[in-house]
Chain A
Amino acid sequence: MKRRDFIQKTAAGSALVLGGLSLSSFTDTPENAKRITILHTNDTHSHIDPLAADDPKNPNMGGAARRATLVEAIRRENPNTLLLDAGDIFQGTPYFNYYGGELEFRVMSMMKYDLATLGNHDFDNGVNGFYKQLPHAKFDFVSANYDFKNSILDGIIKPYKIFTVDGIKIGIFGLGIQLEGLVDPKLYKEVLYNDPIGIAQDMSRILKEDEHCDLVLCLSHLGFAYDNEDKVSDLALASATKNIDLIIGGHTHTFLSKPYIAKNLDGNDVLVNQVGCYGINLGQIDFYFEKGKKTAQGRTINVG
């Protein structure tokens, strides 16, 4: 046993005997606190290389090899980390036109991405073009509202995936945007789109109540918010559902300065985040866990 761990254990033990049952004395020790780090990107759009030095908006930002260094540094600090993407991995640079997404998937696999969902541009070479590149992805895709039953992706893309990280159960489901009017029907073919809200209500119930997940995350390519309130967005999703802890969004290329705190159907906080596009930013959400029962005052959220 490491000396530091031993001292902490001894201290915790004494606190129990001497001070009775003060749970606060348990915090911040390895046995009594856990930390799960969620890293995420969206709309990387084949931007393997950093943006050009003369880019008018984000000169010399991004780049997959730099992102890999950053992700690795965070993983060294906390091995209990998941790396996720919210779709539109394809299309945007000649890398996609020349290699059809092979390089994007292979580089993401080298970075050890854990999970992604599909954006509308991931259909740009058709559902078959996406399928063809899947052997290069050592990570899974999830989508709960796209029905792949009659497509080549049937059985390959699941609605959700559960990770158990340091004993914490994390359920992640995916949501995709309406394809009709956005993607040529000859590209998405037999893939059917279902209402994301209803599906998300089912998913969050299944993951929370049936699967007993400690955290429920949604990887969404719906878009952050729209002027037309009838259009389903991440903010509309947040307010119409419960038991979702974090919605990781994409599609609208929204550069949030910090994660957005929305209210869910129960009036509880739900985090919504999106980090722009082209790999310019990486989102980081840390979930801290303590031993004991959830307190009445709920959890503290610090953003920015």
Chain B
Amino acid sequence: MAKYMFVLFLMLSGIISCGPKNFYNSEIDGKKIPVSNEYTADTEIEDFIAPYRDHINNDLDSTLAWAPVTFDKSKGKWQTNIGNLMADVTFEKADKIFYMREKKHVDVCLLNHGGIRATIPQGKVTTRTAYEIMPFENSLIIMALKGEQIHDIATYMAIGKKPHPVAGMEIVLDNNNSVKEVTVKGKPVDNNKIYYVATSDYLSNGGDNMMFFKKATAQYDMDYKLRNLYIDYFKETDTLPVNNTERIIIQ
């Protein structure tokens, strides 16, 4: 009898331990593996990527325009040649589109110094140049600001003491960096007038502490990436203009 019991016991334990659900997680090992050059590139994938890479490189490196000088954001206390270029180009392009769509003209363009991410070296200007100076996906937006906020822009510039790219307006400061005079397109600012300011969507949301944009009475999304704006400009331009006009003037 004991013998049969033992056999039955073996059979039962066999059934239990061989059941499909009888595995349990006893141990976990976890680690990070750096993907270094000790792993050779998979040739099938490498060959697949190659034509895409070649196309992009050819496109990025083909010459669109010519830079007669190096455009450098580190040279200049109140304005830089690259800042002037970007503000002027953005102003010009934004004004065209804005007039086409809304029958209104852009009055001011304001970008930020921190948003210029590279220099444009003297020599050929390519699509890659546009990616380097503008790696972000920021797009063009037009903000409707009252004259009061145009004065706020001037105060912001005077306090921040950074050469933020600006076009369409002139700010005159005295020797103590106090705002003496603000003009837009050569005329004194009217506090009750609405001014149309072209900027990036990033700044329009108060980026870089540009809180005056939060007081906008209207905004117009141009659905146009700034990088594409520069690429389009480079394509239609032979030699980049060098404009050193002062936009912030110390008297």
Answer whether A290 and B31 are a contact pair too, CB < 8 Å, given A61-B36, A72-B42, A107-B49. no
* A interface footprint on B32-63 (CB within 8 Å = 1, 0 otherwise): 11111101111111101100110110011000
User: In the complex, are the beta carbons of B35 and A257 less than 8 A apart?
Assistant: no
A199 at the interface (CB under 8 A from B): no
The answer to whether the Cβ of B30 comes within 8 Å of any Cβ in the partner chain is: yes
- Contact present for A285 and B30 (CB under 8 Å): yes
- Which chain A positions have C-beta within 8 A of B17? 23, 26, 291-292
Within 8 Å by CB of A256, from B13, B24, B26, B32, lies B32
Cα of A290 to Cα of B27 in the assembled complex, Å: 9
* Known contacts A302-B29, A302-B30; A124/B137 CB under 8 A: yes
B32–A294 touching, CB < 8 Å:
no
Say yes or no: A48 contacts B49, CB within 8 Å.
yes
Nearest chain B CB to A111 CB, angstrom units: 7
Nearest neighbor of B10 in chain A, beta-carbon distance: A16
Complex interface: chain B residues within 8 A of A98 (CB): 52, 55-56, 59
| A-side contacts of B31, CB under 8 Å | 258-259, 283-284, 303-304
A206 at the A/B interface (Cβ < 8 Å)?
no
CA distance A271 to B21 in the complex (A): 23
Closest-by-CB residue of B relative to A282 is B33
Q: Are B35 and A282 in contact (CB under 8 A)?
A: yes
- Contact (Cβ within 8 A) A280 B45: no
**Is the pair A288, B32 in contact by a Cβ cutoff of 8 Å?**
no
Q: Which residues of B contact A281 (CB under 8 A)?
A: 32-35
CA distance A304 to B32 in the complex (A): 7
Interface residues of A in 90-133 (CB under 8 A from B): 91, 94-95, 97-99, 103, 106-107, 110-111, 124
Collect the chain A residues with CB atoms within 8 Å of residue B10's CB: 16
A70-B33, A291-B17, A292-B17 known; A65+B46 contact, CB < 8 A: yes
Q: Does A226 make an interface contact (CB < 8 A)?
A: no
Tell me which residues from 32 to 52 in chain A have a Cβ below 8 Å from any Cβ of chain B. 34, 48-50
- Chain A nearest CB from B194 CB (Å) reads 25
Nearest CB in chain B: distance from A146 CB, A: 21
Indicate if A293 sits at the interface (CB-CB under 8 A).
yes
Asked whether A289 is an interface residue with its Cβ less than 8 Å from the other chain, the reply is yes
Contact with B along A3-36 (1 / 0, CB 8 A): 0000000000000100001010010000000100
Report chain B residues within 8 Å CB of A97: 131
B28 contacts A by Cβ under 8 Å: yes
In the complex, residue of chain B having the shortest beta-carbon distance to the beta carbon of A37: B29
A65 to B49, CA, bound (A): 9
B4 is an interface residue with CB less than 8 A from chain A: no
Partner of A280, one of B34, B52, B59: B34
Residue A204 at the B interface, CB < 8 A?
no
Q: Do the beta carbons of A215 and B25 come within 8 Å of each other?
A: yes
Complex alpha-carbon distance, A292 and B29, angstroms: 20
Total interface residues on B, using CB and 8 Å?
A: 40
B192 at interface by CB-CB < 8 Å: no
Q: Are B23 and A299 in contact (CB under 8 A)?
A: no
The residue in B10, B31, B46, B49 that gathers the most chain A C-beta atoms within 10 A of its C-beta is: B31
Residues of A near B60 (CB, < 8 A) are: 94
- A283 to nearest B CB, angstroms? 6
Q: What is the 8 Å Cβ interface bit string for chain A, positions 47-66, against chain B (1 contact, 0 not)? A: 01110000000001111111
**Chain A neighbourhood of B186, CB < 8 A:** none
Residues in A whose Cβ lies below 8 Å from that of B49: 48-49, 64-65, 103, 107
- A142 → B minimal CB distance (Å): 21
A68 touches B42 (CB 8 A): yes
Contacts of B36 in A (CB 8 A): 60-61, 66
Say whether B26 contacts A63, CB under 8 Å. Answer: no
Closest B residue by C-beta to A245: B25
A69 in contact with B39 given A95-B52, A256-B32 (CB within 8 Å): yes
Question: Which residues of B are found within 8 Å of A110, using beta-carbon distances?
Answer: 44-45, 48
Residue in B17, B30, B39, B60 whose Cβ sees the most chain A Cβ within 10 Å: B30
The answer to whether the Cβ of B22 comes within 8 Å of any Cβ in the partner chain is yes
The answer on a CB contact under 8 Å between B30 and A284 is yes
- Please tell me which one of the listed residues A60, A66, A168, A258 contacts residue B32 in the complex, with CB atoms under 8 A apart: A258
**Chain A, residue nearest B19 (CB):** A291
- A302–B31 Cα distance when bound, in Å, is 9
Tell me if A289 and B24 are in contact (CB < 8 A): yes
24 A-B pairs, CB-CB below 8 angstroms? A16-B13, A65-B49, A66-B35, A67-B35, A69-B42, A72-B42, A73-B39, A95-B52, A98-B59, A110-B44, A110-B45, A256-B32, A259-B31, A271-B28, A281-B33, A281-B35, A282-B35, A283-B31, A285-B30, A286-B29, A287-B25, A291-B22, A292-B22, A302-B27
